[in-house]
Amino acid sequence: MTKDGLSVTMADVAKAAGVSRALVSIVVRGVPGASEETRERVRRIAAELGYVPDQRAQALRAQAPRAIGVAFQAVQPFHAALVDGIYQTCEPLGYQVVLSAITSAHGEAAAISSLQSNRCGAIIDLSARLAPKTLAQVASRIPVIVVARAVRAEGVEYVCSDDERGLKQAVEHLSGLGHRAICFCSSADSGGGPERLRGYRTAMKAAGMAADVVETGSTEESGYETGLSLLARESLPTAVIGFNDNCAAGVQTALKEAGIKVPDEVSLLGIDDTGIAAAPYHQFTSVRQDVAWLGKTASLRAIARLEGTDGHRRAHIIPTTLTIRSSTAPPRR
Amino acid sequence: MTKDGLSVTMADVAKAAGVSRALVSIVVRGVPGASEETRERVRRIAAELGYVPDQRAQALRAQAPRAIGVAFQAVQPFHAALVDGIYQTCEPLGYQVVLSAITSAHGEAAAISSLQSNRCGAIIDLSARLAPKTLAQVASRIPVIVVARAVRAEGVEYVCSDDERGLKQAVEHLSGLGHRAICFCSSADSGGGPERLRGYRTAMKAAGMAADVVETGSTEESGYETGLSLLARESLPTAVIGFNDNCAAGVQTALKEAGIKVPDEVSLLGIDDTGIAAAPYHQFTSVRQDVAWLGKTASLRAIARLEGTDGHRRAHIIPTTLTIRSSTAPPRR
DNA sequence: TTGTAGGCGTTATCAC
DNA sequence: GTGATAACGCCTACAA
């Protein structure tokens, strides 16, 4: 039972054990300087009292910051996977992960500011939408690593997938199967949007095909709308690349409702290779982003910058791979 | 430019402005005790230096904790909405929100422990899977509020939707339409699972119908599997209630693939009323959980317990409502 | 093996 | 209107 709701402190443990605070510190940290007997007794009393070291006091005392701040959007499954990867990399290395969510009530600026006031040594921003100038200002004080968006701002590093090359892989896969009419659902505003579009155009040109771009969004719903617009055409393309898996799923639903079979009549390709692509009734061929690698790279860069062991770099481009499933096949003659 | 990468402190501002630290404190907090002229100058210099108050030091100095800890799973869209609601309630009231993610690399116990060592005054657990005894132990030191799971543990409060009544609403809606063969996809292990099942059984009995329960999971994939198992029966039920919207979506996909039309041949009902249910090509009738209300209630309880203004209560049950869309209709004769 | 002193950044109290 | 001083909980020296 704690006294008056206040949390139990190191001094409480020391008093209860009849030793000094420093000794308690030695024991809980497991450093040499105490007899095994004392160690045992102090540990037992600490456990009885429910003592938990105060991280904030520890951090305040510490010279160098040992916390990595992460600004993320809770609604994004992609972010969830990245956060997981960041924990996996940072905690074993002894770095605390401090989270700040970007929500409607708590924007990106508030999230970053909260991370700053928690004295994080570096910030990983999974959803950089702020003006480059603003980010540069933050970066002049704390190392900033942006994930999944190519931000050109002074002092800001970014880590993202090689979207351009990913689209090239997608187009080459389809053209290798014999497709000549390949439509790309583009979403210019989304992260990686410009790169994906550029990669598509370049690859189509290289293969001697005419580009066929439809502007859409990154949601399943917008994919569905796009699917309807394709069905309204005189003739369907033989293959469609969704902006991402969500979008491809929406396209598929629209096609299915119209009785168009995938891949018999139209081949369908997603991007990101999320759980949706792998679901048994989708089985999309998809351009895979290596989320674990992205998270690990961002973490390691954050730590390197924090420790000052390494200078600033601008970009880290992570390769993509193509996961081939049953949604792509040669076109019907 | 900061010196040596160390963050700028109140003392730095004081020195640069040629005043004492206490005066800087007065200015940044906006409390009376400084001339408007000085105020202006200090503020300007603080901004130039990029001074941000150290929250950890503030908290250390403060007598009572003013932080609410939240343990959540980033992969859950439901949690994202709750976190949003918690920010919306806590921050305007002057409480800091401290997040700790529950991931594969960082389990529930680690998340709670991290919250404790950050000296949060109360913990909101969105994903309580720990043994009640373990939770009770935590609750003996810090107020614990569990969301979306009825946890019977000493000292633990929980806030959840009235799942039992929600299922009753669902069954009554269907029986009102004339359905007599209503199948429920149950997921006993998920949050609210037992309550939903109980509500279904009670309502079916009250309506004089035989219960028809299929065990499934909470994912779209498991719904798809369940859909296949229903198709293998001699005759389909005239209505199916998915364990949640994901599950219902999976069932729908399986039915559609087999050429079964919703709601013409089978009525389909989801639970949670997420974006999936509202999507144009699903349009599920769904039992709505009031996520904003859940988040607000959990936050207010956490604050009340932290401030000690209010004693412990056990449960807070939030009513559900039925959102009726086009996936439910009278059965075919 | 154990205890003492000092300081991390902040704020509250009290003199000036 | 302003400036010293102490204290929050912890850790690193250093002294006993």
Per residue in B137-196, pLDDT (tens digit) is 999 989 999 999 999 999 999 999 999 999 999 999 999 999 999 999 999 988 889 999
Q: What is the pLDDT of residue B280?
A: 75
* Cis upstream peptide for A263 (omega within 30°): yes
The position carrying tokens 């594969």 is B104
Q: Is the CB of A330 under 7 A from strand C?
A: no
In A233-268, which positions are buried (b, 16+ CB within 10 angstroms) versus exposed (e)? eeebbbbbbbbbbbbbbbbbbbbbeeebebbeebbb
Residue A111, pLDDT > 90, answer yes
Chain B CA closest to residue A63:
B6
Identify the band that residue A278 occupies on the pLDDT scale cut at 50, 70 and 90.
Answer: confident
Inter-chain Cβ pairs, chain A and chain B, closer than 8 A: 143
Q: Is the CB of B96 under 7 A from strand C?
A: no
Q: What is the pLDDT of residue B216?
A: 96
| Whether the Cβ atoms of residue A157 and residue A305 lie closer than 8 Å to each other | yes
**In the predicted model, what is the mean pLDDT of residues B78-98?**
93
Residue A284, pLDDT > 50, answer yes
Q: What is the pLDDT of residue B5?
A: 52
Q: Find and give the residue nearest to D6, measured CA to C1'.
A: B61
Q: Which residues of B touch A91 (CB under 8 A)?
A: 105-106
Residue B1, pLDDT > 50, answer no
Q: Which residues of A touch B106 (CB under 8 A)?
A: 84, 87, 91, 97
Please state, in angstroms and as integers, the Cα–Cα distance from residue A287 to each residue in A197, A245, A293, following that order.
14, 9, 15
Q: Which residues of A touch B220 (CB under 8 A)?
A: 279
CA of A70 to C1' of D8 (A): 28
pTM of the model: 0.90
Q: What is the pLDDT of residue B207?
A: 96
Q: Do A84 and B74 touch (CB under 8 A)?
A: yes
Q: Is the CB of B107 under 7 A from strand C?
A: no
Q: Which nucleotide is nearest to A61 (CA to C1')?
A: C8
Q: What is the pLDDT of residue B33?
A: 82
**In the predicted model, what is the mean pLDDT of residues B65-92?**
91
Q: Find and give the residue nearest to D7, measured CA to C1'.
A: B61
CA of A34 to C1' of C5 (A): 20
Residue-wise DSSP of B86-149: HHHHHGGGT-EEEEEE-BTTB-HHHHHHHHHHTT-SEEEESS--S-HHHHHHHHTTS-EEEESS
Q: Is the CB of A26 under 7 A from strand C?
A: yes
What DSSP designation does A92 have? G
Please state, in angstroms and as integers, the Cα–Cα distance from residue A32 to each residue in A20, A57, A269, B257, B258, following that order.
16, 22, 59, 67, 70
Round the average pLDDT of chain B to a whole number and report it: 92
Q: What is the pLDDT of residue A313?
A: 85
Round the average pLDDT of chain A to a whole number and report it: 92
**In the predicted model, what is the mean pLDDT of residues B309-328?**
93
The three-state secondary structure class of B315 is strand
CB closer than 7 A to strand D: which residues?
A: A 6-7, 9-11, 21-22, 25-26, 28-29, 31, 53-54, 57-58, 60-62; B 18-23, 26, 32-35, 38, 57, 60-61
Distance CA(A288)–CA(A245), nearest Å, equals 10
Q: pLDDT per residue over B222-281, tens digit each?
A: 999 999 999 999 999 999 999 999 999 999 989 988 999 999 999 999 999 988 898 877
Element at B9 (helix H, strand E): none
Q: What is the pLDDT of residue A144?
A: 96
Residue B218, pLDDT > 50, answer yes
**In the predicted model, what is the mean pLDDT of residues B70-86?**
90
Distance CA(B304)–CA(A170), nearest Å, equals 55
Q: Which residues of A touch B66 (CB under 8 A)?
A: none
Chain A CA closest to residue B70:
A99
Residue A4, pLDDT > 80, answer no
Q: Which nucleotide is nearest to A25 (CA to C1')?
A: D11
What contacts A25, CB < 8 A, 6 or more positions away?
A: A10
**In the predicted model, what is the mean pLDDT of residues A39-48?**
90
Distance CA(B157)–CA(B313), nearest Å, equals 6
Identify the band that residue A6 occupies on the pLDDT scale cut at 50, 70 and 90.
Answer: low
Distance CA(A22)–CA(A281), nearest Å, equals 62
| Whether the Cβ atoms of residue A199 and residue A165 lie closer than 8 Å to each other | yes
Distance CA(A320)–CA(A163), nearest Å, equals 7
Residue A5, pLDDT > 70, answer no
Q: Do B256 and A256 touch (CB under 8 A)?
A: yes
Of all residues in chain B, the percent with pLDDT exceeding 70 is 98
Other CB atoms within a 10 A radius of the CB of residue B93 amount to: 11
The three-state secondary structure class of A195 is helix
Query: Between A103, A118, A224, which is nearest B56 by CB?
Result: A118
**In the predicted model, what is the mean pLDDT of residues A216-227?**
92
Q: Do A55 and B118 touch (CB under 8 A)?
A: yes
Identify the band that residue B36 occupies on the pLDDT scale cut at 50, 70 and 90.
Answer: confident
Q: Is the CB of A111 under 7 A from strand C?
A: no
Query: Between A52, A101, A141, which is nearest B83 by CB?
Result: A101
Residue-wise DSSP of B133-149: HHHHHHHTTS-EEEESS
Q: Do B281 and A224 touch (CB under 8 A)?
A: yes
**In the predicted model, what is the mean pLDDT of residues A97-107?**
93
CA distance B298 to chain A (A): 17
Q: What is the pLDDT of residue A2?
A: 39
Question: In B 6-45, which Cβ lie closer than 7 Å to strand C?
Answer: 6-7, 9-11, 21-22, 25, 28-29, 31
The three-state secondary structure class of B267 is strand
For chain B, list the domains and their CATH numbers: 10-61 (1.10.260.40), 65-162+291-319 (3.40.50.2300), 163-288 (3.40.50.2300)
Residue A220, pLDDT > 50, answer yes
Chain B CA closest to residue A142:
B5
Q: What is the pLDDT of residue B6?
A: 67
CA of B111 to C1' of C5 (A): 35
CA of B46 to C1' of D1 (A): 20
Q: Find and give the residue nearest to D11, measured CA to C1'.
A: A61
Query: Between A253, A280, A308, which is nearest B281 by CB?
Result: A253
Residue type, B173: H
Q: What is the pLDDT of residue A82?
A: 94
Of all residues in chain A, the percent with pLDDT exceeding 70 is 98
Q: pLDDT per residue over B108-151, tens digit each?
A: 999 999 999 998 999 999 999 999 999 999 999 899 999 999 99
